[in-house]
Structure 1
Amino acid sequence: MSQDTIFALSSGRPPAAISVIRVSGPNAQAAAVGMAGSLPEARTAAVRQLHHPRSGDLLDEAVILRFDSPASATGEDIVELQCHGGRAVVDAVLAALAAIDGLRPAVPGEFTRRAFENGRIDLTEAEGLADLIEAETESQRKAAIALSEGGLRKQIAEWQQCLLGLSAEAERAIEYDEADDEANPTLRRECAALGAELRSWLDRPRAERLKDGIRVVVAGPPNTGKSSLLNAIAGEERAIVTDMPGTTRDHIEVPLALDGVPILLTDTAGLRDSSDPVEAIGVARATTLVEAADVLVWLGAPGESPDHPRTLKVHPKSDLGSAVLPGSIAVSSVTGEGMPELLEQIGRTARDLLPGEDAIALNRRQARCFEEAVSALDAASVAGDVLILAEELRHARVAFDRLTGRAGVDDVLDSLFSRFCLGK
């Protein structure tokens, strides 16, 4: 597949002011010459008329950029055609490219996959690019940028150098210390120190909360104003509100961005004993959601709130004039009283659960590789035999190779690159 020359529209769908069509592969420059007559110097823009390679018909006047292998985004020869962004123009240029022997349309994510396969990026950077494309909040964008720009890759390179040094020392001991098979205490301590450093990364907040959102669950007894509160926070009628207890039978989820922090706001059924089998199912689900909540917003008697480490106690319907109990935030979904304070508290609590703006957060796949490396280093740090220590260090190196995509990741590549759009 890497010998094919591929092309695709890399900008948004037309109509637009300008559309960028990217061509990558061994025949990219020849194909562009067949349409434009000549190409500018590498990394220099020039205006050319584009003609159909067979009929000679004028298609458009476009800006052309050329990037030579290996100093290109994919590691291959690339030509970018910046055309006028009308649908007819884009369709005509794509049809002309398809008419050239040896060219074919790209599949989603193929440009980025070629960059990975040609060593322009590693797997962690590719994951960062996928996250950047999908980012919907400012915090998601910043985390994706840190990953896609190689923040984790650079740190991994330092750890790999350290591992290679430890492995070299272990191999030297095997080769020359024939009279003593016992592992060097200094070498074991260095393995333990590296394992502790990796473990500190595992203790950081994970990327899943950043991508999926902090789950904020609104819970309490029936008819306490949970659905009204969700509607007020969401700014629209997402949940049905009546005076009848038990109206909410199943949970309702509303994804929001609160000051750039991704939130998954969840309304639940009122917690009570019920003989209604449908309501009882809703109550059971609500109980499960409360246990899984990152932040619990409790509407009910403060002393009856579930035991949860991050509970915000709310005194609802404050416009009705009832006394506010200490430790509760008085809120009215009707007048808006207390809403700014509640949202500020939710945002502050949620932000504490997310990685810092400059910190790199591990996803599940990366964390599993870290865990494998830590396990191997822990075993190396207590190994009595230098042969066992050397073998555990090899296991740690293999875990890092899986982390960067250099080995054992065929099962994740198709899934990852399918997340990309057609021209990326």
Structure 2
Amino acid sequence: MFTEKLYYKDSYIRSFTATVLKSEMEDDGRYFVLLDKTAFYPTGGGQPHDIGKLNNIEVYDVQEVEGEIRHYVEQPIELHKKCEGVINWDIRFDHMQQHAGQHILSAAFDDHFNYQTVSFHLGKEICSIDINVDSLSADKADKVEQIANNIILENRSIDTKWVTQEELSNYRLRKSISVSENIRLVIIPDFDYNGCGGTHPTSTGQVGLIKILHWEKQKKQTRVYFVCGNRVLRQLQNKHHVVQDLTTKLSVPQEKLVEKTEGILVQNKNLEKNINELNNQILEFEAIQLTNQIEIHDDIKIIKMAFQDKTMAELQVLARTLIGKRNDLLVLLVSDYDNKLQLVCARSESIEINVNQLLKQTLPLINGRGGGKENFAQGGGEKVISAEQLLLELIHKIKVGI
């Protein structure tokens, strides 16, 4: 069923009257209505859908499904009934600012550096475009941002025009058109010519401002994050609150925040180094204590111990320290950490037991995973038995032969 798309004619339509052509429920239980005309924009072209109301019933989603523009509503609406549609204008105008801003930003990248936009995403807070270059310098980003904002300050018109396929050759299009009929161009004269079905303001000045936030590499492309219009003010407010909070907590003016932060990072790095050294000293002391608890099983000298809350890294350091002190030890260490079991099996060179094989034959008892070498292996799994029981299982496998 055909739905007249009012937003194609005028993005500024905030309310309209329409007739319900279809009122149904999808398999997932969501109600939708199809209207003879609509000003609601459905998700598409990188732009999210509008929201609003139909006869004071919330429209929370709008999608184009098999050529139908479906308005998803919180409750069904009677078939053939006249509906008063109202667009949520704050969200619509925000989308208009972001989408027009994207056209301007993409055109600036293309004109000055020949970087074409290959995709666009209009998010709830931040927008992004992917450009076909694998890296972007700060200088080029600043230049493009300046050019884009100059276009906004010039308050150029943003026009829409319906053309035929034959007429396309009269325009300097940035990318090829994917349709052969009902072709709608969005035009910023002498700057940008694009096929687009989205909503836009009537002049660049209404975009307000464009700010590039940051960018990152995406395979062989670069994803550029940006905001336009009222979102720039929100970004500024949020960042200002953060800066003010930091200046208060760090007791420094804004211009010295970076210097102060760098100092704190260096200090923390030194503290972490000292903590690691102290932890190693503690583990060294624990290793000495453990050498007094050697057990002998089948002529094999074994140190076995169950711990609470020791990390895998600590178990590994402890095991390496023990086998480094003696050349005749088998070390079995288990830790109950974060409600899981972790274990390390290690041996001195004179011991002929393959601890990797010992570990892998034991791990199924705790649905675990792990591995290593013949003389040093580690792993972990679920706490289906106690740490002490796991140690007994290791000893049992040694006695029966692995």
The TM-score with structure 2 as length reference comes to 0.22
Question: Greater helix share, 1 or 2?
Answer: 1
Instruction: Indicate the structure whose relative CO is greater, using CA pairs within 8 Å and at least 6 residues apart.
Output: 1
The TM-score with structure 1 as length reference comes to 0.21
Question: Greater strand share, 1 or 2?
Answer: 2
Rg (Cα) greater in structure: 2
